Amino acid sequence: MNSNPLSNKKVGVIGAGSFGTVFANLLAQNRSVVLYARRTEEAERLERERTYKTWRLHDQVEITSDPEYLAGACELIFPVVPAQAFPGMLQTFSPYLKPYHRLLHATKGLHVVLNEGEELSQLKKLRKEQVLTMSELIKQETTVLRVGCVAGPNLASEIAEGQPAATVVASPFDEVIREGQQALRSTNFRVHGAHDIIGIELAGVLKNIMAIAAGILDGLGLGENTKAMLITRGLAEMVNIAKPLGGEVNAFLGLAGIGDLIATCSSPASRNYTVGYRVAKGESTQEVIKSMDEVAEGVRTIAIVRALAQTHKFSAPISLALYKILFDEYDIQKGIRLLMEFPYREDGELV
């Protein structure tokens, strides 16, 4: 596979959270890895103990908290940090990123360019040009053009255990897809390629909305019929939102779309699911958010979709109902009734 001997160069992972460490371990099966932890204490701890949560770090993983070192040692870099930390991470790394770097991120979130004094949850108007996916943000903030993303049903703990799983590497560049596949694939990890990077990124982002809804349904003690209804109509809604933003339908029929949607809607482990679950159990959104150390990305995404839908006039009934429940303290039962009465078009019609 590696026709070029230099492609055995080290690969970098930015972000030493649960997903970042799992990623580093996956990559370490093929290549030497440099893993970046922002805080020096965390880097030192990882170096000392070589474990994260329940899993051990692979011997081929080298830890650093020096961005210049990582950028100098690696051409292929995987940023795996939460969406809110992404702009800060780019600021840290941008002085060291060069046109030869290839960046493949695994972050599910959107960046919104707000005017001064604007509050995301209160936004009435939001133009699509103000909303950037992470790959668009990379291109805007750095000199790197060869970007890609990794998305799919990849719950960190299951991959850490070495259970069989699959993912998608998406990029407009064949070269980036090829390199991502070569670096990531292993006996228990399949890696598919795709060109529609915007579609794949949006699939990963928008499924968080449905994860919150799934948490609500479970919190209410509802059964599988309701969940299946959510997943099916949720998928159609995701496509409907992605279309005006430049995503294609196909991305949603693959691993990063329906695949990730099913995994996230069935797993109580995710932050988004937990938000929905606890709100359904009677806590207020503010209480839930305050008690979590990281913001559940789905909550922000709902506010973004609502503002976009109002501005660009597309329908997104599930997201709008969730907005009412989370931000307007709307009664959940009323929210569900609203959805049950929504005049959908013919079943199976995606857009």
Partner 1 sequence: MESVQHYITEGILYEPTVPNIYNWPIARLFRSKDRFLKEVIDETMEAVAQFAQRQNSSIEQLVAKTMYRERIRMKEDPWKVDPKDEIKFWRNIKKKLVAIDRIENDPTAYEKDVHNLLYSIVSRYANEIVSTFKPGTYQFAKRFLPFFFSTLLNASAGKTIRSIISHKVKMQERIHLMGETDMLRELSRIGTVVVVPTHLSNLDSILVGWSLSALGLPAFTYGAGLNLYNNKILARFMTRLGAYTVDRRKRNPIYRSTLDSYATRATIEGVNHIFFPGGTRSRSGEIEKNLKQGLLSTVIEAQRQNFAGEPRAQSEKIFIVPLVMSYHFTLEAKSLINQYLNRTGQEQYYTLDKESSDLVKIFQFIWTTFSKSSDIYLSYGKPMDVFGNFVDQEGNSIDRNGNTIEIKEYFMSNGELTKDHQRDDQYTKMLADKIVERYHAENYVFSSHLVAFVAFQMFKKNRKDLNLYSLLRLPEEERYLEVAPFLACIEAVHNRLKELNQEEKVNLPSHLRNEPSTIMEHGLKNLGLYHTKRVLKLTKDGRLFTDNMNILYYYHNRLVGYELESLVK
Decide: is 100 part of the binding site for partner 1 (CB under 8 A): yes
Decide: is 49 part of the binding site for partner 1 (CB under 8 A): no
Q: Output the six-digit token pair for 30.
A: 């093929």
Marked catalytic residue, from 53, 98, 124, 207: 207
CB-facing half-sphere around the CA of 141: CA atoms within 13 A: 21
Size of the site for partner 1 (CB under 8 A): 22
Contact in structure between 156 and 135 (CB atoms under 8 Å): no
Nearer to partner 1, 75 or 260 (CB): 75
Query: Could you tell me the CA-to-CA distances from 77 to 154, 177, 192, 241 in Å, in that order?
Result: 19, 13, 18, 29
The contact pattern for partner 1, residues 102-131, with x = CB under 8 A and - = no contact, is x------------------------x----
Interacting residues with partner 1 between 149 and 188 (CB under 8 A): 172-175
Distance in angstroms (rounded) separating the CA atoms of residues 6 and 135: 26
Q: Output the six-digit token pair for 155.
A: 């719950």
Look up 124 and say whether it is catalytic.
no
Interacting residues with partner 1 between 267 and 306 (CB under 8 A): none
User: Coil, strand, or helix at residue 228?
Assistant: helix
Decide: is 233 part of the binding site for partner 1 (CB under 8 A): no
Counted residue by residue, the chain has a size of 351
Distance in angstroms (rounded) separating the CA atoms of residues 17 and 10: 20
Query: Could you tell me the CA-to-CA distances from 200 to 84, 135, 146 in Å, in that order?
Result: 19, 11, 16
Nearer to partner 1, 4 or 187 (CB): 4
Decide: is 98 part of the binding site for partner 1 (CB under 8 A): yes
Q: Considering only the stretches 36-44, 82-90, 140-148, 241-249, report the one whose residues sit in contact with partner 1 under the rule CB under 8 A.
A: 140-148
Distance in angstroms (rounded) separating the CA atoms of residues 339 and 76: 45
Nearer to partner 1, 248 or 283 (CB): 248
The contact pattern for partner 1, residues 66-85, with x = CB under 8 A and - = no contact, is ---------x----------
Binding interface with partner 1 (CB under 8 A): 4, 6-7, 9, 75, 94-95, 98-100, 102, 127, 140-143, 145-146, 172-175
- Which residues are marked as active site? 207
